[in-house]
């Protein structure tokens, strides 16, 4: 059902070039010819042991791989190949990302503002903080003032301010507690039910 796919990954290979000693350059392949489809309304989970390349897959889709990474294969959003240029128009609005590490929060910006970002509103941010049980005063805090679980809830909030068409979540629930983790997954289901793909 390729035509319905919001995300198509076709034959993705990610490798790193690394120096061994001073002069020997080695190629280390970490994602091997991976293909997958995510359709609208669908939640696709990628399971794998630590170090198997889940985060790299997410980063390849988001265009966040480091400079020493080499990527081949095709990544398409809604049938069109994703390039840095086409990605730019989608990021933050149609295509959002919950990174694995809370270090992706801007350390020098209050978290309320970060969640509002470029596209959202104060009302929506307040609504999401309430949904994710973040006390009102959290808005005025900087990331270093938050607990790990609070920081994660801020990250989740910032990915769902607009109704994304494609939500990429890289281990979004650690540190949330079982109830909040279930609520978060339920929220992803609601987002998928409105026609988005979650992965």
Ligand X SMILES: Nc1ncnc2c1ncn2[C@@H]1O[C@H](COP(=O)(O)OP(=O)(O)OP(=O)(O)O)[C@@H](O)[C@H]1O
* Residue selected from 33, 35, 52, 83 as contacting ligand X according to rule CB under 6 A: 52
* Residue selected from 10, 13, 16, 76 as contacting ligand X according to rule CB under 6 A: 16
* Binding residue count for ligand X, defined by CB under 6 A: 12
* Residue selected from 23, 27, 66, 103 as contacting ligand X according to rule CB under 6 A: 66
Residue 147 binds which of ligand X, Mg ion, none (CB < 5-8 A, kind-dependent)? none
CB of 11 to ligand X, least distance (A): 18
Burial of 142 (0-12, 13-18, 19+ CB in 10 A): middle
34 binds ligand X (CB under 6 A): no
Neighbours of 171 (CB within 10 A): 13
Report whether 167 contacts 191 (CB < 8 A). yes
Mutual angle of helices 122-131 and 148-159, in 10-degree steps: 130
Residue 173 to residue 162: CA distance in whole angstroms: 20
53 binds ligand X (CB under 6 A): yes
Residues near Mg ion (CB under 5 A): 54-55, 100
């Amino acid at each position: 059902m390729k035509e319905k796919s919001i995300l198509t990954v076709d034959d993705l290979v990610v490798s790193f070039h690394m120096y061994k000693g001073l002069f020997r350059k080695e190629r280390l392949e970490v994602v091997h010819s991976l293909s997958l489809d995510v359709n609208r309304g669908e939640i696709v989970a990628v399971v794998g042991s630590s170090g198997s390349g889940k985060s790299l897959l997410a980063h390849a889709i988001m265009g966040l791989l480091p400079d020493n990474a080499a990527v081949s294969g095709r990544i398409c959003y809604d049938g069109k190949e994703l390039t840095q240029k086409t990605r730019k128009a989608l990021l933050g609005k149609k295509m959002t990302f919950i990174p694995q590490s809370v270090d992706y929060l801007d350390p020098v910006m209050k978290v309320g503002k970060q969640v509002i970002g470029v596209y959202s509103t104060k009302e929506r941010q307040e609504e999401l903080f309430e949904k994710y049980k973040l006390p009102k005063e959290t808005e005025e805090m900087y990331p270093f003032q938050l607990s790990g679980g609070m920081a994660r809830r801020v990250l989740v909030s910032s990915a769902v301010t607009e109704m994304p068409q494609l939500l990429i979540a890289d281990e979004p629930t650690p540190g949330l507690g079982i109830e909040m983790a279930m609520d978060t997954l339920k929220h992803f289901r609601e987002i998928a039910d409105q026609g988005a793909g979650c992965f």
